[in-house]
Structure 1
Amino acid sequence: MTAADAYDVCVGLGYHCETTYQLRRITGNDSAHFFDWLDLELESVVEAISEDFTHVLRPGQVEPFSDGFCALDRGSDIRFFHDFRPTDGRLLTQNDIDGQLDSVRAKFTALAERWRALAASPAHVLYVHHDAFDESTARDLNRLRQVIATAHPGQRFSLLWLRRTPPADPALLSPDINWGTVAEDPDRWEGDDAQWDEAFGAVRLSPGTRS
């Protein structure tokens, strides 16, 4: 890999908080991106990008979920564990969500604009999808790559697909999609630092990535 191939930015694409924590630890860059700290399947990522985020957090679509421990956006199937706060006790109510929806929407509208600006920039981006439950296939990752390329023609990017176990069909992956494994640490939501460091061992980051 040449200096020109080094990645300027690493952007997480779910599955949950482990991805955000590890990317910030590895790069030292805590700049927020749209999918940070969210809980969502790959299909929700694909739909959000293909719809240019317009279907996320629409009024009337967000409700308490998991007995009130998070908010579920029915329009995107994204689970928000950190953006809505209960006003009384530990559990969210519909009134909590309705009262906070405008401010949460404003945050994610700004993050969607940041996504578009990055995609339009000359930055070389590494998108990282942590397939935390080994649910996806090579064809799913190829589709994700195609959706990003279609939404943002000309963007320089690659994908890193991290699983708990090796995929069954890596030969089907597009050449600009790499894969690796990170074992689960059941006692630590942040994941196994050593496993993530090993997965990023061959990833070259430009000096500006660590900022």
Structure 2
Amino acid sequence: METPHLVSLGGFCQVAFQLKRIGLKACSPYDKLITPWGALIKSLKDKAYAHGVYARPWKGSVRSGDILYHHDFPSKDGVYSTTLIHRIICQAKIARRTRMMDGLTGEVIFFRLGATRRAPFTYVYTEDDGAPTVEDFDELSAVLDQRFPQLRWRLVYAYYAHLSPAPAQLRDRRISVHALRRPRLRDPSQWQGDNGQWDEIFDLALGRPSRAFAA
């Protein structure tokens, strides 16, 4: 039985952390980025959009277009450096992750956390700004089909039920929706997420225990 690739589509680094926790290596340009819904669509259509060409410090992070780069630029005492050499290094890293994702074949399960419809947040785990519409998901399906014609893909969309309403009934059966409960964490903004709830999502997506990846 073919084992599907599990790949992050953002919108925050929590997805990549959880995939790494069950033993999977990073293979997506979205692993470390904060990508609002519109930025996801733009960057799937135009690979260069996510490369950080116009990166500048912004509200405790680094922003280029509508994407935040928390982890791809060096910082000291909370101040990020976006010099030309650091932008070139970032572009190279994002381009390498993009090539890894584009090189996938066979079955892929994409995972997306949250909508973040407008500008990116720097405190994304305690706020969101609405659910994607049916039309948003239809557009994403069409873009994924166009970008990855070699893949048999599915998409798991997860959202925090206390931050955002549930999406409407979807037309594409390749997309499933999972609500995350409010994490029982000492710090509600802890970025890693709730391991138990993510295990439930992975198990449902795979149809078997996801811990096998970490064996």
Same fold, TM-score > 0.5, yes or no: yes
Give the Å deviation of 1:33: 1.6
Give the Å deviation of 1:125: 0.2
Aligned positions, number: 192
1:71 aligns with 2:62: yes
Q: Is the 8 A contact 2:51 2:95 kept in 1?
A: no
Please give the alpha-carbon distance, in whole angstroms, between the structure 2 residues aligned to 1:193 and 1:117: 29
RMSD (Å) for aligned C-alpha atoms:
2.3
Please give the alpha-carbon distance, in whole angstroms, between the structure 1 residues aligned to 2:114 and 2:17: 15
| Aligned equivalent of 1:177 | 175
Where 1:178 maps in the other structure, the secondary structure is: strand
Partner residue of 1:198 out of 185, 197, 200: 200
Q: Which runs of 4+ in 1 moved over 4 A?
A: none
Q: List gaps (5 residues or longer) in structure 1.
A: none
| Aligned equivalent of 2:120 | none
| Aligned equivalent of 2:78 | 90
Q: Is the 8 A contact 2:16 2:26 kept in 1?
A: no
Give the Å deviation of 1:73: 0.7
Where 1:180 maps in the other structure, the secondary structure is: strand
1:128 aligns with 2:128: no
Please give the alpha-carbon distance, in whole angstroms, between the structure 2 residues aligned to 1:32 and 1:115: 6
Q: Which has the higher contact order (CA 8 A, sep 6+)?
A: 1
In structure 2, relative to structure 1, the CA distance for the partners of 1:160 and 1:109 (3 Å cut) is same
Where 2:149 maps in the other structure, the secondary structure is: coil
> AA paired with 2:74?
R
| Aligned equivalent of 1:159 | 155
In structure 2, relative to structure 1, the CA distance for the partners of 1:58 and 1:196 (3 Å cut) is closer
| Structure showing the higher helix proportion among its residues | 1
Where 2:203 maps in the other structure, the secondary structure is: coil
In structure 2, relative to structure 1, the CA distance for the partners of 1:85 and 1:11 (3 Å cut) is same
Please give the alpha-carbon distance, in whole angstroms, between the structure 2 residues aligned to 1:101 and 1:169: 39
| Aligned equivalent of 2:119 | none
> AA paired with 2:73?
F
Q: Is the 8 A contact 2:33 2:69 kept in 1?
A: yes
TM-score normalised by the chain length of structure 1: 0.80
Please give the alpha-carbon distance, in whole angstroms, between the structure 2 residues aligned to 1:55 and 1:130: 20
Q: Is the 8 A contact 1:71 1:97 kept in 2?
A: no
In structure 2, relative to structure 1, the CA distance for the partners of 1:106 and 1:28 (3 Å cut) is same
Please give the alpha-carbon distance, in whole angstroms, between the structure 1 residues aligned to 2:176 and 2:62: 33
Give the Å deviation of 1:58: 5.7
| Aligned equivalent of 2:40 | 45
In structure 2, relative to structure 1, the CA distance for the partners of 1:72 and 1:187 (3 Å cut) is closer
Q: List gaps (5 residues or longer) in structure 2.
A: 116-127
Please give the alpha-carbon distance, in whole angstroms, between the structure 2 residues aligned to 1:22 and 1:127: 13
> AA paired with 2:175?
I
TM-score normalised by the chain length of structure 2: 0.79
Give the Å deviation of 1:23: 2.0
Please give the alpha-carbon distance, in whole angstroms, between the structure 2 residues aligned to 1:99 and 1:153: 35
Please give the alpha-carbon distance, in whole angstroms, between the structure 2 residues aligned to 1:205 and 1:114: 25
